[in-house]
Amino acid sequence: MLTSRVSKRLFSVLQQEMITAEIRGTVGIVTLSRPKALNALCDELFHQLNAQLQSFEKNDDIHSMVITGAGKAFAAGADIVEMSSQSFPQTMVNDMLGHWDSLKSLKKPVIAAVNGFALGGGCELAMMCDILIAGDKAKFGQPEIKLGVIPGMGGTQRLTKAVGKSRAMELVLTGDFFSAEEAVAMGLASRVVPNDQVLEEAVKVGEKIGAYSKPVVAIAKECVNQSQETSLKDGLLFERRAFHSCFALNDQKEGMGAFVEKRPANFTHC
């Protein structure tokens, strides 16, 4: 009987919702919701996040997505309590953090609305998004060095590509935090807005993107991401071929036709 009660209690904890989701117009919003843990990214939270983003990805009425956090944090890092007892063989066999990669498979734009602490895994999650908008109270950092480990989901790679080797090296090796204003100055974030307006600003950007052709937005996103993975020569060729492919779309005909006729375009996403 005791075993049964314990099992039911554990099942209840595992089933507890760690995110909330809503739709505003053409924008799907996911809010990380473990405020007592500053939205620490445990495995269950990330599985729920992935599942919700995939649901939004399959919903034709949603054109873009926003990720934000409840309370005082976007996400204050990975769940250290969950990680602390892991051994090297366990991390290898279970491919620790491997499920985080699924975020990069999304075709629709993902906007990070960073409203507070974005540290360690939280900073890495924000950097995985396509656009990063920071509230004026946001704090970023890769403090893993203080825990005897290194960033494990892009902190040494995406941060370096965004801000350059010297600055990234300093941030990774010292674990220092940096402000929203510094994030913009370094090129990590696109803008700073008042903290209580960061979600609304992200939704506005998502709605603006949603007015355009979905396949063209997906092609543009793929081209920008390709620039981070290839040489300039190869990237320019990739871009040109992608540009040519737009001429197979009805939306290209509509967009250019509307411009010539001086009227708003009516994109049909095909």
- HEC secondary structure over the chain: CHHHHHHHHHHHHHHCCCEEEEEECCEEEEEECCHHHCCCECHHHHHHHHHHHHHHHHCCCCCEEEEEECCCEEECCECHHHHCCCCHHHHHHCCCCHHHHHHHHCCCCEEEEECCEEECHHHHHHHHCCEEEEECCCEEECHHHHHCCCCCCCCCCHHHHHHCHHHHHHHHHHCCEEEHHHHHHHCCCCEEECHHHHHHHHHHHHHHHHCCCHHHHHHHHHHHHHCCCCCHHHHHHHHHHHHHHHHHCHHHHHHHHHHHHCCCCCCCCC
| Cα atoms in the Cβ-side hemisphere of radius 13 Å centred on 42 | 17
Residues 205 and 239 in one domain: no
Q: Which domain does 244 fall in, by range? A: 214-261
Catalytic entry in 40, 75, 144, 201 = 144
Q: Are residues 6 and 49 in the same domain?
A: yes
**Residue 270: inside a domain, yes or no?**
no
User: Is the model's pLDDT at 79 over the cut of 80?
Assistant: no
Q: Are both 242 and 160 inside the same structural domain? A: no
Which of 75-79, 86-90, 250-254 comes out lowest in average pLDDT? 86-90
In a domain, 199, yes or no: yes
Does 269 map to a domain? Answer: no
Q: Each residue of 141-151: b (16+ CB within 10 Å) or e?
A: bbbbeeeeeeb
Question: Could you tell me if 82 and 203 lie in one domain?
Answer: yes
- Confidence tier at 32 by pLDDT (50, 70, 90): very high
Q: Which residues pair with 132 in a beta bridge?
A: 112
Q: Looking at residue 198, what is its pLDDT?
A: 97
Residue with tokens 């036709």: 257
Task: Kindly name the residue from 71, 116, 121, 122 that is annotated as catalytic.
Answer: 121
pLDDT at 268 over 60: yes
Annotated catalytic residue, options 124, 138, 180, 206: 124
Same domain, yes or no: 24 and 146: yes
Clarify whether residues 96 and 197 are in a common domain.
Answer: yes
Question: Which tens digit of pLDDT belongs to each residue from 178-195?
Answer: 999 999 999 999 999 999
140 plus 253 within the same structural domain:
no
Cβ contact 70:106 at 8 Å: no
Active-site residue 78, yes or no? yes
Mean pLDDT for the stretch of residues 143-171: 94
Is 266 among the domain residues?
no
Same structural domain for residues 176 and 44? yes
139 shares a domain with 73: yes
Q: Looking at the domain assignment, is residue 268 inside a domain?
A: no
pLDDT tens column, 103-137: 888 999 999 999 999 999 999 999 999 999 999 99
The answer to whether residue 267 sits within a structural domain is: no
State which of 210, 234, 252 marks the end of a domain: 210
Q: What is the mean pLDDT of residues 63-77?
A: 95
Treating both helix axes as pointing N-terminal to C-terminal, what angle do 214-226 and 232-245 enclose, rounded to 10 degrees? 170
State percent of the chain over pLDDT 70: 93
Q: Is the pLDDT of residue 5 over 60?
A: no
Split at pLDDT 50, 70, 90, the class of 249 is very high
What is the average pLDDT score of the chain?
90
**What CATH number is given to the structural domain containing 237?**
1.10.12.10
Q: Are 66 and 128 in contact (CB under 8 A)?
A: no
pLDDT band at residue 15 using 50, 70 and 90 as cut-offs: very low
CATH of the domain at 23: 3.90.226.10
- In whole angstroms, how large is the CA radius of gyration of the chain? 20
CB 146 within 8 A of CB 173: no
Strand 27-32 and strand 19-24: the pairing is antiparallel
Q: Is residue 229 annotated as part of the catalytic site, yes or no?
A: no
Q: What pLDDT score was predicted for residue 16?
A: 54
| Residue 208 Rama label (left phi>0; alpha psi -120 to 50; beta) | alpha
Do 225 and 156 share a domain, yes or no?
no
Q: Say yes or no: 205 and 219 in one domain.
A: no
How confident is residue 14, by pLDDT bands cut at 50, 70 and 90?
very low
Q: Of residues 78, 126, 180, 202, which has the active-site annotation?
A: 78
What is the pLDDT averaged over residues 63-68?
98
**Which pLDDT does position 266 carry in this prediction?**
96
Q: Is residue 121 annotated as a catalytic residue, yes or no?
A: yes
Q: Does the residue 80 lie in any domain?
A: yes
**Residue 117 maps to a domain:** yes
Does 163 score more than 90 pLDDT? yes
Does the active-site annotation cover 254? no
Q: Show the tokens assigned to 53.
A: 């983003």
Q: What is the largest CA-CA distance in the chain?
A: 75
User: Does 227 share its domain with 180?
Assistant: no
Residue 8 has pLDDT above 50, yes or no: no
Total domain count, the chain: 2
Q: Is the pLDDT of residue 12 over 70?
A: no
Q: Is 139 exposed, middle or buried (0-12, 13-18, 19+ CB in 10 A)?
A: buried
